[in-house]
Chains A and B, each alone.
Chain A
Amino acid sequence: MTRTRTPGISRRSTLALMGAGAMTFAAPWVARAQAKTIKIGMPTILSGRVAQLGTSSRNAVMLEVEKVNAAGGLAGRQIEMVIRDSKGQPQEAARVARELVNTDGCELLIDAEASSGAFAVHEVARDLGVFCIHTNSETSALTADPKQHIPNAFRTARQGVHDSIVGGSYAAAIAKAKGLKKWATCSPDYAYGRDTTAEFTLYLKRFAPEVEIISESWPKLFQPDYTEVVTKILQAKPQALYSCLWGGDLTSYIDQANIYAMFGQMEVFAVNMADYTALTVVKNLPKGIHSGNRYIKTFPATPENAAWGDAYKAKYNEYPTNWSWENATAIMLMAEAAKKANSADGKKIAEALKGLTIKCPFGADGTVTMRGDDHTLVGYAIGWGTTIPQEPYVPEVKAGDWKTIFELEAEWKKSKGYT
């Protein structure tokens, strides 16, 4: 067969190429269209097992950004959020953060990454000198370790050591009152689980020296079956159990432990229980589980907090998470700092943010403060209470005392060689 013509690039390919070319040239124009707005970049996890971290962070940020924009923006500049998925991979988090600053022209960063991703973005902030607020990493070292300290990075997430101090003192009081001496622990086998459990038991023993840990279980993160863990704990016959399982792990654990009627046999302290992601998902929420507050609209019991929780629910048809309040607080603080500095410039915001106290629905006394010396949030609502199976789930929360927290935190920092 002889061909009459040599086939070149087909019409379809030509059209596709032209389309791709047009997109390439159009993209920078679209990006440049709104120069007066200020872009805030936000790398976070929007896919995979912990996608809820990203979506509930994004929801809260958008809720607050709308308010700020309606009130005139960040020092007169409308905020435009550029939110991008890092898939929970630190190298992607670093890449996305750099791309947001270098290509998309973001002048400020909200780092809504978890654990290792937050440290990767922290290095980008160090490298580029861009203003950055970490909103989801609770790892104490991120701000407590002076090696990590840079002038342009802050944290509005709760801090692991704060939770442990409050949890330890609360649990010790109950241990003394009820004579709980034999304790078991059951926490996920990764840095957060190990560190938080170690710190909790440290403070528990400090306030109640007679306590003894008789059994430790370390299920894998995202483990589907907890039978062996549950039976191991039941065999050890402890009087109380501590767990920092969270999210889906905690709910599966409770559902499976319910089969063995575990919750009638011991006092359970699950620091991450009082979060709607766990409370609303558990099939039969046992009565009387002790939990730290993650986010709950009834604590602090103020109209502002309830209104914020309801507004979020009305807009997104689900309750906010712990990550939501942490991210909302970041926007609130940035807006106040920009107002104080009368500028949306990262350096000036950073300067104004140091030691800044603002009115905030999530504050223990209606305010939160960005501590000046280590750039981390203090004064947020922190407390423990017991669950009931229906709303409001945790009717009474006993607030932690920030004076005690500060004292013990300073001591802890010294013991770690941070000060």
Chain B
Amino acid sequence: MTELEAGRAQTLVPARGGTALRRYRDVLIALIAFAVLASLPLFTGSKALLDFVIRCSAYGLFATSLNLLVGYTGLTSFGHGMFFGLGAYSFGLIMQKLGVPIPIAFVATLAITAMVAAVIGAICVRLKEIYFAFVTLAFQMLIHSTILSWASFTGGDQGLRGGIPRPAFLGIDLSNHVHLYVTSCALLILGLLAMRQIAQSPFGYTLRMIRDNAARASFLGIDVWRAKLTVFVLAALFASMGGMVMALFVSGAYPEFAYWTISGEAIFINMLGGVSTFLGPMVGTVLLLLLNDTVTRFTEYHGIVLGVVILFFALGLRKGLLDFVAEWYAYRRDAGEGR
């Protein structure tokens, strides 16, 4: 290094450090979040809490991936649950029938999901709004019916029976509750981080432009169809990851995982948490599961309670919780600055 270069480097360092910090802020947050979650079992022996976080991981990945479509691209999919179910079934079947190591089954499931999503997406993303929503729903019902009728392979409406074998790999034994918990947390954090990267990348901003004005994006030289298809496949991959976590949690896969109600739950989660912030669906997941778990403890009329909550969010707040908080925060900040 010459003196000149050394001098320049010195002046550049702080600036580079600043951008680096900003660039790696998400990674840092992810690391901290993972450290906090992973150290939970050290402080509490509550298996219920660990179960809760595992389920949050499954639904969180699933709901956040739907937000890539709904919130970022403006594609309201009613059939996103098919990839949740597909993930659970592919993973379960590969483990049961082939007995390969878990990481291989994991990657193979993602590959299968990508292929199926590419085919379904190629047909669906040409359509807009309600047509898109209903064709995705139709494909979901197709997959659900296939699971039901192909009983010799999928177990039909009784689901995949006999448990999913979980041979240990790299010192990780997923039949151990804590190992499963830490692995779920890791998958959740990695998944969220990857989705965050997608959302913040130039591609992510392309998606926002397509959402706001697809014609304009097209005139700027963006292949709208290709961008939509790409995000459709990416979202399917993360939904499939969620399905795999759920399959590991219940040690099986059931047709309900691919039924339209599961897509409905994801949409509801997005409504609860909000679609304009990245973490909205995650907040929604925690809210819905918390609500579900507490309400079902006390009453079998949980439908009424959930209905009231939906009404409160739809008519009262008119947006998701995190959207509301974000706006409120912005309002307070502006008020503080005297604007």
Contacts and interface: CB of A to CB of B under 8 A. Distances in A.
Interface string B245-268: 010011110111100000000000
Interface stretch (B22-30, B198-206, B227-235, B295-303): B295-303
A84 interface: yes
B47 A119 contact: no
Contact of A47 (B246, B252, B303): B303
B157 A190 contact: yes
A372 to B, nearest CB: 22
B148 A89 contact: no
A102 B301 CA distance: 24
B99 interface: no
A141 B297 contact: no
Interface in B254-311: 254-257, 293, 296-297, 300-303
Contact of A120 (B157, B250, B293, B300): B250
Interface string B114-157: 00000000000000000000000000000000001001000011
Interface in A88-137: 89-92, 94-96, 98-99, 102-103, 115-116, 119-120, 123, 126-127
Given A47-B300, A126-B251, A127-B251, A102 B161 contact: no
B255 to A, nearest CB: 7
A126 B163 contact: yes
A91 B296 contact: no
Contacts of B161: 119, 141, 145, 147-148
Contacts of A91: 246, 249-250, 254, 256-257
**Interface SS of chain B: helix, strand, loop or mixed?**
helix
A324 interface: no
Given A95-B51, A127-B251, 8 more contacts: A47-B302, A91-B254, A102-B51, A120-B252, A123-B250, A148-B161, A190-B148, A190-B156
B39 interface: no
**Interface SS of chain A: helix, strand, loop or mixed?**
helix
Nearest to B303: A47
Contacts of A191: 151, 156-158
B299 to A, nearest CB: 8
B162 interface: yes
Interface residues of A, number: 32
A194 interface: yes
A116 B47 contact: no
Contact of A98 (B51, B246, B257, B301): B51
Given A89-B256, A94-B250, A96-B296, A103 B162 contact: no
B254 A116 contact: yes
13 contacts: A54-B300, A84-B297, A85-B300, A87-B302, A91-B246, A91-B257, A92-B296, A103-B46, A119-B158, A119-B161, A120-B252, A141-B161, A191-B156
**Which of B46, B148, B157, B303 has the largest number of chain A CB atoms within 10 A?**
B157
A286 B300 CA distance: 36
Contact of B51 (A84, A99, A190): A99
B156 A98 contact: no
A363 to B, nearest CB: 28
Contacts of A274: none
Given A98-B47, A120-B252, A123-B250, A90 B159 contact: yes
Contacts of B257: 91
A46 interface: yes
Contacts of A120: 159, 250, 252, 254
A119 B48 contact: no
Contacts of B158: 115-116, 119, 139, 141, 191
A190 B157 CA distance: 7
B80 interface: no
B55 interface: yes
Contacts of A99: 48, 51, 293
Contacts of B254: 90-91, 116, 120
Nearest to B148: A190
Nearest to B332: A6
Contacts of A89: 256
Top 3 closest pairs, chain A to chain B, by CB: A102-B47, A46-B300, A103-B48
